[in-house]
Structure 1
Amino acid sequence: MLDKLLPWLAAVDLPQPRPGTAAVALRAVRKVYVTGAGEFTALKGVEFHVAAGEFVAVVGKSGSGKSTLINMITGIDRPTAGEVWVAGTPVHMLTENQIAVWRGRTIGVVFQFFQLLPTLTALENVMLPMDFCNVYTPAERPKRAMQLLDLVGVGAQAGKLPTHLSGGQQQRVAIARCLANDPPLLVADEPTGNLDPRTAESVIELFRELAAGGKTILMVTHDDDLASRGNRIVTVAEGQVVAATAGGGA
């Protein structure tokens, strides 16, 4: 199946990004969902910017709009009005085919439940995005995957299946996987929700190190203590960004 996809992926043209722009910029973004009960406005003219190399934590109550905000940035959903720019690319203008390729090359996503394929080893899970987006040569991919596993501290687990790894180890493999194609932006959706406090702290420290190395990190969390470890804390409420304060990493 993947072999059939590769020619199609290679044939998709993406717009050239604008140089020197913010890592993330939302301009007057509005999102309206139409339901059986009528219209529901999830985002109300949101203005949101993240600088390259910044570690930003997004906090807010359930239903505040933070998940919709992340869906706009990752291209999972489209704004009803407004503009979404990521790494200089107008995401709101991409076609469905373009979004799939753009996301694979531009954004690494870390999930709360890891989302590792259970039949693949840690090394094979990290290689998967490179295979899917046809990034690096087949001979280079195992070496790069191994380097990334070493970077996140689980190189010794490369040959193990996810079921043989602890939750913290699985999350580190997931982070290595999201770095596979060297994306400029990492989006983490409650990445510590299933981890014990000590392991959660180690994951946050890894994010801080990646941001110091030039990666842009955008993390959604309910944990105020962990959010304070970022450079900036952005609070979302009732579909709007209502506050932005400096974090302890600023």
Structure 2
Amino acid sequence: MLAKWLSGLISTDLPQPRVTAAAVELVAVRKTYITEAGDFEALKGIHLQVTAGEFVAVVGKSGSGKSTLINMITGIDRPTDGEVWVAGMPVHMLTENQIAIWRGRTVGVVFQFFQLIPTLTVLENVMLPMDFCGMYDRTKRPERARKLLDLVGVGEQAHKLPANLSGGQQQRVAIARSLANDPPLLVADEPTGNLDSRTATAVIDLFKELAASGKTIVMVTHDNDLACRSGRIVTVYDGQIMTSQSAECDNYA
């Protein structure tokens, strides 16, 4: 039954992407949540462009709308109004099944709490997105997973369970997993929130290396010092983008 369901997802047709220089483009995006206390507008007409190979840090106070913003980019949530384009694909127009397979192939997501499956080995966790999306020959998936683990510096941990790794090592595994299907875009939501400063710096260094190799990275962080090590800082306040500027720490308030 599971195999049949996965097969149905894999065969879902996706629209032909448009040719664009922007890896991410949000056009007049609004998001309103309907609650018992009344309507709450989390995003208020956001316009944002991220070019391919750019490393962008999204900062803002709790409740400012930054997590809602990246949920638009990943297709985890849908805009009430406006358009969301990622790698030329109209994410706002996709069905739920289309979003599932599109996300697996196009976006690598890195979470604050790692979200590794505890009963699977590190190697199996990294292989999982390939299995889900039917990417790469089945016999070649273990080799690709090992290479990704080597890339992030935890290759020797391949056959351990996540619980036997440190927090920093688990986050590196999570990054390797996000790269499994070679997505053009990585989206990280507070990826260093549970790490010590030294390990957090190492994770940012890895993101910078990935951006230099052509990956587009959008990272939400509450840490302004880490944000300053990205290429551009986007500041979100009360559901709007207040500033968007080069990450020059001396000029960033």
Same fold (TM over 0.5): yes
In structure 1, the gaps of 5 or more residues are none
Corresponding residue number in structure 2 for 1:132: 132
Corresponding residue number in structure 2 for 1:175: 175
Per-residue deviation at 1:65?
Answer: 0.6
RMSD in angstroms over aligned alpha carbons? Answer: 1.1
Give the Cα–Cα distance (whole angstroms) in 2 for the partners of residues 30 and 61 of structure 1.
19
Whether the 8 Å CA contact 1:123–1:158 is kept in 2: the answer is yes
Whether the 8 Å CA contact 1:230–1:248 is kept in 2: the answer is no
Q: Which amino acid aligns with 2:209?
A: E
Per-residue deviation at 1:5?
Answer: 2.7
Give the Cα–Cα distance (whole angstroms) in 1 for the partners of residues 87 and 148 of structure 2.
22
Give the Cα–Cα distance (whole angstroms) in 1 for the partners of residues 39 and 176 of structure 2.
40
- 1:153 and 2:156 aligned: no
Give the Cα–Cα distance (whole angstroms) in 1 for the partners of residues 150 and 212 of structure 2.
18
Corresponding residue number in structure 2 for 1:230: 230
Listed one character per residue, the Cα deviations across residues 91-140 of structure 1 (whole Å, up to 9, x for unaligned) are 01101111111111110000000000001111000000000001001101
Corresponding residue number in structure 2 for 1:50: 50
Give the Cα–Cα distance (whole angstroms) in 2 for the partners of residues 28 and 97 of structure 1.
25
Corresponding residue number in structure 2 for 1:217: 217
Listed one character per residue, the Cα deviations across residues 5-42 of structure 1 (whole Å, up to 9, x for unaligned) are 33212220011111233000000111111111111111
Give the Cα–Cα distance (whole angstroms) in 1 for the partners of residues 20 and 241 of structure 2.
24
Q: Residues 215 and 2 from structure 1, CA distance in 2 versus in 1: closer, same or farther, beyond 3 angstroms?
A: farther
Give the Cα–Cα distance (whole angstroms) in 2 for the partners of residues 195 and 115 of structure 1.
15
Give the Cα–Cα distance (whole angstroms) in 2 for the partners of residues 59 and 117 of structure 1.
29
Corresponding residue number in structure 1 for 2:63: 63
Give the Cα–Cα distance (whole angstroms) in 2 for the partners of residues 46 and 72 of structure 1.
11
TM-score, structure 1 normalization: 0.97
Per-residue deviation at 1:159?
Answer: 0.6
Query: How many residue pairs end up in the alignment?
Result: 249
Partner SS state of residue 71, structure 1: helix
Give the Cα–Cα distance (whole angstroms) in 2 for the partners of residues 3 and 159 of structure 1.
25
Give the Cα–Cα distance (whole angstroms) in 1 for the partners of residues 209 and 248 of structure 2.
14
Per-residue deviation at 1:248?
Answer: 4.6
Q: Which amino acid aligns with 2:179?
A: L
Give the Cα–Cα distance (whole angstroms) in 2 for the partners of residues 5 and 139 of structure 1.
22
Listed one character per residue, the Cα deviations across residues 134-159 of structure 1 (whole Å, up to 9, x for unaligned) are 10011010000000000001001101
Q: Residues 248 and 142 from structure 1, CA distance in 2 versus in 1: closer, same or farther, beyond 3 angstroms?
A: farther
Give the Cα–Cα distance (whole angstroms) in 2 for the partners of residues 128 and 223 of structure 1.
31
- 1:19 and 2:19 aligned: yes
Partner SS state of residue 68, structure 1: helix
Q: List 4+ stretches of structure 1 deviating above 4 A.
A: none
- 1:77 and 2:89 aligned: no
Q: Which amino acid aligns with 1:10?
A: I
Listed one character per residue, the Cα deviations across residues 156-181 of structure 1 (whole Å, up to 9, x for unaligned) are 11011001101110000000000000
Corresponding residue number in structure 1 for 2:205: 205
Per-residue deviation at 1:220?
Answer: 0.2
TM-score, structure 2 normalization: 0.96
Partner SS state of residue 143, structure 2: helix
Give the Cα–Cα distance (whole angstroms) in 2 for the partners of residues 6 and 79 of structure 1.
26
